[in-house]
Each structure stands twice: as C-alpha cells, then as structure tokens.
Chains A and B, each alone.
Chain A
Amino acid sequence: MRNDKIKLLELTFKKVSDNPDFFAHFLCLYMEQLSMSQDKLLSDLSCDYESYLKLGLCRAPDILKLDYLKRLKNISEFTKTDVDNLNKILKEVHATKKLKRINYGQEYLTAARDSTEEEK
C-alpha cells in the first residue's frame, strides 16, 4: 500500500506537470513524445518511484544557461537519477517544442499569405 508521502508526491507531481518550470512537465512530455511507459522511464533513469516523483518537483534548469550542467548534476545527485538521461530528456523535449513552434510559425505565415491573396 502506498504511504502518505508517495500519494502526496503523486498529487503534487500531477499538479505541477503543466508548469514548464518543473521537471514533471518535461518527464510527462518526454513519455508522451516517445509513447514511453513510466516503468521504462524509471528504468532508464535508474531510479525508484519516489525519486522519480521528487525529480518532478525539482525546477528544470534552462539548457541555454552556462550553469546548466552543474545544476543538472545537483538534481541528479539529489534524486539519485542518471544525469545523462536527465540531460537527454530536457534537450529532446526542448527540441520538439522548438520544432513545433517553427511549424506553427509556418502555418501562420501560410494563413497570412492566403488571407492577403484573398484580399487581392
């Protein structure tokens, strides 16, 4: 039976998973992008469930900042997770988000172009 701590962590993990400040957001998107199960992610991160939930409550460092790797290492030590995989998760989700923004930009440009042509 799950204890209070796990249930509380689970609920809070869910609550912050929509907030891109938190690691939970990136973990959820990563699993979604790769259609990956939680068990597989836990195995990749080499951590237990509680550590995974705690990881979700950590702030995700900005990959563009100079201290990014240092901060990631701190998180990895605190949550006892694999730092290389944390790095991979953040970078892959960032890359996908960026790609989506580019695609949206193209769609908006196309829409704008179409509407301009219609006006003519």
Chain B
Amino acid sequence: MGASIKERELHELILQKDDLAFAKLFDLYGEPISKYLSTHFSRFARQDERYVYEAVSDAFLDYYENPSAYDPDKSSLKSFLGLIAKRDLINLIEKEKKHFLRIELPEDVELQEIKWNNLKENDAATDSEIVQNELVELVEKELEKFFNSPIDLTLAKMVLSKERNTEVFAEILGIPHLSEDEVFREVKRHKDRIKKVLQRNGIEQKLRRIVK
C-alpha cells in the first residue's frame, strides 16, 4: 500500500525543505512509532527506553536528510519510518550485545580520549605506518562531519587526546590575554560544548568502531 494523500503532501514538503515539514512529521508519527517499537521490543525498552527514542530520532533524521530514498508508491510514510527505526533499534541492540560481551569499554568521552592517545602514542611502534595513517585519516574525516571550523576540529582532537592544559586551549581559542578566571571559564565552556557534540552524535562510539 502506497502513501496517503496527506503523507504525499508531507513528503513533498520535506523534499522542498519546507520550514515546518520536519516538525510536522514528528508531530504526526514520532509518538506512534515510538510506541510501536516499545511494544515490539518491550523487554529492551523496559531496560532503557532511550534506545527506542534514539532509533526513532535517527530514523526521522535519516529520512529528512535523504528523503529521495523513500518511494511513496511503494509504502506508506509511516511504515517506511517505522521500518528504518526498527532497523536502527535492532542495530543498537546488536551493538549493545557485542559491547557487553567484550571487555567493558569506556562510555564517557574522558575515557575514550585514552583510546585516541594510545592510537597516537603507538604510532611509531606499529608495523605499518600506512595503516595507522589511514586510521587517523578515517578518524579525522569522521570528526570533520561534525566540526565545521578548524578551531573546533582542533579542540575536538584535543578533548579526545585528553589534553588538560588550559593554556594550550587558551592559545587555540585566541584568549590568552584574558584573566585567569575568564580563561578557565571560556576554556571550560568550549570543552563542554565540544564534549556535548561528541556525545550527542555518538562520535565516541563511531571512533571506537574505527579504532577497533
């Protein structure tokens, strides 16, 4: 069964990057699809409902960023979104299973930074520098997806490298002339902002996969 007239209109608005389309899409299908997943994956949803929200949110964003992947003649928009969300949730569950089967890896950015440090420190010791360089390049490419400015990119690498020297951050931010308190506050604000981006977009997990 294809899309309804209402869904076709909404899909058209999404394609046109209409100002309200994404919010309308959420209004219409966000809750029903979450409920559907929570029911079908009740055991998992009971453990941590955030996975369901994560999967639904990602599904909507995937569709919004690439709406041409949806064909209104083939299925309803609701089914399509439900299917992507279900796939994302299954992937999340699989990842979690693997995660618990392996050695407990650090979840927070601070600990993940050690991983980045090891990558750099071991650089000279690896048999193949090419492989290592490719790895670093992959990680950098991943970071570039989320940090547009060179300053932010550098800050992200510093955060991941567990850099703790406030003066180094101040130099990068161009604020060494400020008072000690101001520098501390500014550096903290920027570090928190970078950490939020890293966490919100699951960059730690992505980098962990690349490093593995």
Chain A residues near B (Cβ < 8 Å): 3-5, 7-9, 11-12, 14-18, 22, 54-55, 57-61, 71, 74-75, 78-79, 107
Query: Hey, which chain B residues are within 8 Å of A55, CB to CB?
Result: 23
Q: In the complex, are the beta carbons of B60 and A4 less than 8 A apart?
A: no
Query: Which residues in window 92-136 of B have CB below 8 A to A?
Result: none
A1 CB to closest chain B CB (Å) equals: 12
Query: Hey, which chain B residues are within 8 Å of A78, CB to CB?
Result: 20, 23-24
Q: In the complex, are the beta carbons of B30 and A71 less than 8 A apart?
A: no
Q: In the complex, are the beta carbons of A7 and B49 less than 8 A apart?
A: yes
Cα distance A14–B201 in the bound complex, in angstroms: 9
B167 CB to closest chain A CB (Å) equals: 18
Q: In the complex, are the beta carbons of B201 and A59 less than 8 A apart?
A: no
Q: Is the interface of A mostly helix, strand, loop or mixed?
A: helix
Cα distance A107–B24 in the bound complex, in angstroms: 43
Q: In the complex, are the beta carbons of B200 and A59 less than 8 A apart?
A: no
Chain B residues near A (Cβ < 8 Å): 17-20, 22-24, 26-27, 30-31, 34-35, 38, 49-50, 53-54, 56-57, 60-61, 146, 174, 197, 200-201
Cα distance A55–B23 in the bound complex, in angstroms: 7
Q: List 18 A-B contacts (CB under 8 A).
A: A4-B30, A5-B34, A7-B49, A7-B53, A8-B56, A9-B30, A14-B200, A15-B57, A15-B61, A18-B146, A57-B22, A58-B20, A59-B17, A59-B22, A74-B19, A75-B20, A78-B24, A79-B23
Cα distance A42–B24 in the bound complex, in angstroms: 20
Task: Determine the residue in chain B with the shortest Cβ distance to A78.
Answer: B20
Q: In the complex, are the beta carbons of B17 and A12 less than 8 A apart?
A: no
Query: Hey, which chain A residues are within 8 Å of B23, CB to CB?
Result: 54-55, 57-58, 78-79
Query: Hey, which chain B residues are within 8 Å of A75, CB to CB?
Result: 19-20
Query: Hey, which chain A residues are within 8 Å of B201, CB to CB?
Result: 15, 18
A16 CB to closest chain B CB (Å) equals: 8
Cα distance A11–B48 in the bound complex, in angstroms: 14
Q: In the complex, are the beta carbons of A18 and B200 less than 8 A apart?
A: yes
Cα distance A17–B35 in the bound complex, in angstroms: 25
Q: In the complex, are the beta carbons of B146 and A12 less than 8 A apart?
A: no
Cα distance A22–B50 in the bound complex, in angstroms: 23
Q: In the complex, are the beta carbons of A15 and B200 less than 8 A apart?
A: yes
Cα distance A17–B174 in the bound complex, in angstroms: 25
Q: In the complex, are the beta carbons of A18 and B26 less than 8 A apart?
A: no
Query: Hey, which chain A residues are within 8 Å of B34, CB to CB?
Result: 4-5, 8
Cα distance A76–B207 in the bound complex, in angstroms: 40
Query: Hey, which chain A residues are within 8 Å of B19, CB to CB?
Result: 58-61, 71, 74-75
Cα distance A86–B82 in the bound complex, in angstroms: 33
Cα distance A5–B31 in the bound complex, in angstroms: 5
A63 CB to closest chain B CB (Å) equals: 13
Beyond A5-B31, A54-B23, A71-B19, list 13 extra A-B contacts (CB 8 Å). A4-B35, A7-B49, A8-B56, A12-B57, A12-B60, A15-B201, A54-B27, A57-B23, A59-B18, A59-B20, A74-B19, A75-B19, A78-B23
Question: Could you say which of A8, A17, A60 contacts B26, with CB atoms under 8 Å apart?
Answer: A8
